[in-house]
Amino acid sequence: MAKGKVITVAQQKGGAGKTTLAINLAVGLMRAGLRVAVLDTDPQGSLGRWFMTRREVLADPGLAFATASAWGVGYECEKLRGEADVVIVDTPPKADSDLRPALREADLVLIPVASSHVDLWATEGVLDLARRSGKPALIVLNRARARTRLGAEVAEAARALDAEVAPAQIANRVLYAQSLGEGMAALEAGASPAVRDEMAALVTLVRERVGI
């Protein structure tokens, strides 16, 4: 059996929506029929708290879960690759040696960027580390504000970073944050057609990039 692919979600700046993106992508891939595992390497443990809440509300969470510190990422990824089609790794908000193990394991690095120039500036460090590790990176405009001047400026500046920007943007919707506290993803919590469409587009793109 082929080993699973690893998708590392990374961003130097906190508050860019890493965990939200990781969770919704994981659930989107699961709903597409893939075996999915999530790995929490962020000491804040937000992904782990979400998973434990999910276990309380669902008899079957539908996902495998593990945690690891920086030095244990390689071991956990190797183990999870053998059990899942795809492993989603949530990382600490930093771009230094703690991030490198998660980048080394990655088949694709997703970098969420919120509608903020500050978020965009923070992206350059992660992009540099991904390039040094020889890993393909994909910028995802997260918490995007449609039809605003700032949103358009950030999107344009992201495309100027010499990195691929996902055409699928994740809008700034209350449902994304609200559903996490319920142990769910926005796709599952009374999702609107708009939520389903934007997540389906991202899931399709990620599957194409890693071949799953």
- The predicted-structure confidence for 13-52, as pLDDT tens digits, reads as follows 777 789 999 999 999 999 999 999 999 999 999 999 999 9
**Class of residue 26 by CB neighbours under 10 A (exposed 0-12, middle 13-18, buried 19+):** buried
Residue 117, pLDDT above cutoff 70: no
Per-residue pLDDT band at 146 (split at 50, 70, 90): low
Of all residues in the chain, the percent with pLDDT exceeding 90 is: 53
Per-residue model confidence (pLDDT) at position 155: 65
Residue whose C-alpha is closest to residue 25's, from 185, 212, 191: 185
Displacement of CA 24 from its chain's centroid (Å): 8
Assess contact for 7 and 110: CB atoms under 8 A.
yes
| 173 contacts: CB under 8 Å, gap ≥ 6 | 186, 194, 195
Per-residue model confidence (pLDDT) at position 148: 55
Dihedral angle sign, alpha carbons of residues 78, 79, 84, 87: negative
Beta bridge partners of 109: 8, 137
Higher pLDDT, 71 or 22: 22
Q: How far apart are the first and last CA of the chain?
A: 13
Per-residue pLDDT band at 171 (split at 50, 70, 90): confident
Q: What angle do CA 167, 28, 153 make, to 5 degrees?
A: 25
Strands 108-113 and 86-90: unpaired
Per-residue model confidence (pLDDT) at position 105: 95
Assess contact for 70 and 97: CB atoms under 8 A.
yes
CA distance 48 to 46: 5
Amino acid at 48: G
Sheet holding 64-67, edge to edge: 64-67, 36-40, 86-90, 5-9, 108-113, 137-141, 164-165
Residue 116, pLDDT above cutoff 70: no
Per-residue model confidence (pLDDT) at position 200: 92
φ/ψ of 71, rounded to 5, equals -70, -20
Per-residue model confidence (pLDDT) at position 152: 65
Average pLDDT over all residues of the chain: 87
Residue 120, pLDDT above cutoff 60: yes
Residue whose C-alpha is closest to residue 114's, from 194, 171, 162: 171
Could you give all domains of the chain from N- to C-terminal order, each with its CATH number? 5-205 (3.40.50.300)
